[in-house]
Amino acid sequence: MTMKIKRDDTVIVISGDDKGTKGKVIATSPEENKVIVSGVHVVSKHTKARKEGDQAGIIKVEGAIYADKVLLYCDNCKKAFRVWLQDKYHTLDALNTAWNMEFWGHTIYDWDEIVVPNALGEGIGKEKTAFSGISIDYRRFISDSLLSNYKMERDVIRAKQPHALITTNLMGTFKGLDYFKWAKEMDIVSWDNYPAYDTPWSQVAMTHDLMRGLKNEPFMLMEQTPSQQNWQKYNSLKRPGQMRAQSYQTLAHGADTIQFFQLRRSVGGCEKFHGAIIAHAGTENTRVFGETAQLGSELESFGNKTLGSANPSRVGIIFDWDNYWALEYTSGPSEDLKYVEQIHNYYKFFYNKNISVDMIPVDADFSQYNLIAAPVLYMVKDNMAEELESFVANGGTLITSFMSGIVDQSDNVHLGGYPGPLRSMAGVWVEEIDALAPEQKNHARFTDGTTASCGLLCDLMHLEGAEALAVYEDDFYQGMPVVTRNHFGKGNVYYVGSQLDETGLEKVLTQAVADAGVTPVIPEATQLEVTVRESETTRFYYVMNFTGEAQPLPDSLAGKTDLITGETAKCGDSLK
């Protein structure tokens, strides 16, 4: 990743012995992700006399610290933040209520008392805060401010080139910007896909689906490397065929175009070892060049047949940046609770079953779907509960989980018992939340006698109309429900009160999928990834093998034409 902090920037230290100190950046080291800041991390250094007149002895110098220990500090941001807040809250009474500033006696009496979040105020390190209402609003402000800058630049281009498509590189599940807001201002969504050597293919697929979901339209892959990155911890080469399979997965999940970074490797600078189509040897006689040329030839062979086609889905998974920020700002109950990881746990089930998924915002049209998954829906904002209730009452299936329905848009708790505004339709009351350390486990026993391990968090809940599908086996809450289902109107709400192991979650989601009448894109179970895009006249199947071993082609695909080779698929064919 490119370091955002530059020499001469003013920063504030947010952790360590110098926490709260402001200073100017003297030097940066992007390769090591380190900076040297005036007056910070001062260390003693022994010096030798190198020439006549030099003095030997001990001197004090600033040592390097990791860049993630500092934040940019800007008086302009402070002033603009105040204006943004006045536009949002209008009065200090409303702001103090939203931020719950009575806590610790922090009531604000003048707009000029507001400063940007920092370790001298509400900050508890970079990712924790004593007043999350402030920190979440600052996240919103930064996202909106950068979006305003994009719109300004876009409008300058538009004035000169009225018909140009204008976009900017997004970065998947990047935490810093609310991409659903950004997408409304972009002509086409584009993003940079740089999975690590151990990134699960399901997570890559989920991120593609998120990028497609930002506008619910085909997207552009702006960047991928044909061979390797240079800025990750371990920059493994893509194995023969891996770039090709990864590219087809991108198309399968909604891309209409694929670009590479970069055409030719740089002769110098920090990206000189970043992969490129043309290596430092400067020849086309390389494996990477050949594979890239092969991909281009294949794509050219079927032309524009797939362009503009859609990914039909009856399952939606809610992804929300406000929830992302709020959940990871909360102090407790577990530092291991991570938003994207929880979303991926649910997505992975649908991916493995070849069930198409849309990643959707909280204000999506829920009526398009049979099933909506909303794990860790920690922040339930205005009208969200009512929209979900309407979806379920009209026959939809909702799946939610622990740490859902807890707070409002300012991270203030919905009083009256968890899961707050979801309590009625979920048919449960969560009395307490137990946090388990990584080495601790409980177990869930399902009504058919099968068991699954569970951990991270355990909701201690009471039934209020729901039925228990599984109960805890261990600890003082043995026998209390851990997984429930509640009939609400014409639909069902599933509540998963702990982080089940993969087998346990699969069992719950398999039942939910059956309730919702959702089916995979092909009838057979397979280790192949099979995805569908549809045009007005044609249904396109994308079949990819990420297992490392040859896999039999599902019989339901026999008789279909391979757009790459022009051949007809037959029963008994295999995919390497």
Q: Are 356 and 521 in contact (CB under 8 A)?
A: yes
* Residue 474 confidence class, pLDDT cut points 50, 70, 90: very high
**Whether this model's pTM surpasses 0.75:** yes
pLDDT at 421 over 70: yes
**Residue length, the chain?**
576
Q: What is the mean pLDDT of the chain?
A: 94
Percent of the chain with pLDDT over 70: 97
What distance in Å separates the CA atoms of residue 541 and residue 301, rounded to the nearest whole number?
Answer: 16
Instruction: Average the pLDDT over 9-35 and give the result.
Output: 84
Residue whose pair of structure tokens reads 């398009």 in the numeric block: 368
What distance in Å separates the CA atoms of residue 410 and residue 514, rounded to the nearest whole number?
Answer: 37
Instruction: Average the pLDDT over 468-481 and give the result.
Output: 98
The pLDDT, as a whole number, for residue 2 is 59
* Distances in whole angstroms, Cα of residue 355 to Cα of each of 40, 361, 500, 532, 557: 53, 19, 20, 10, 16
* Residue 16 confidence class, pLDDT cut points 50, 70, 90: confident
What distance in Å separates the CA atoms of residue 359 and residue 315, rounded to the nearest whole number?
Answer: 9
The distance of Cα 148 from the centroid of its chain, to the nearest Å, equals 23
Percent of the chain with pLDDT over 90: 84
The pLDDT, as a whole number, for residue 121 is 64
pLDDT at 345 over 80: yes
Instruction: Average the pLDDT over 303-317 and give the result.
Output: 95
* Residue 54 confidence class, pLDDT cut points 50, 70, 90: low
Name which of 4-13, 131-140, 481-490, 563-572 the model is least confident about.
4-13
The pLDDT, as a whole number, for residue 203 is 98
pLDDT at 315 over 80: yes
The pLDDT, as a whole number, for residue 285 is 97
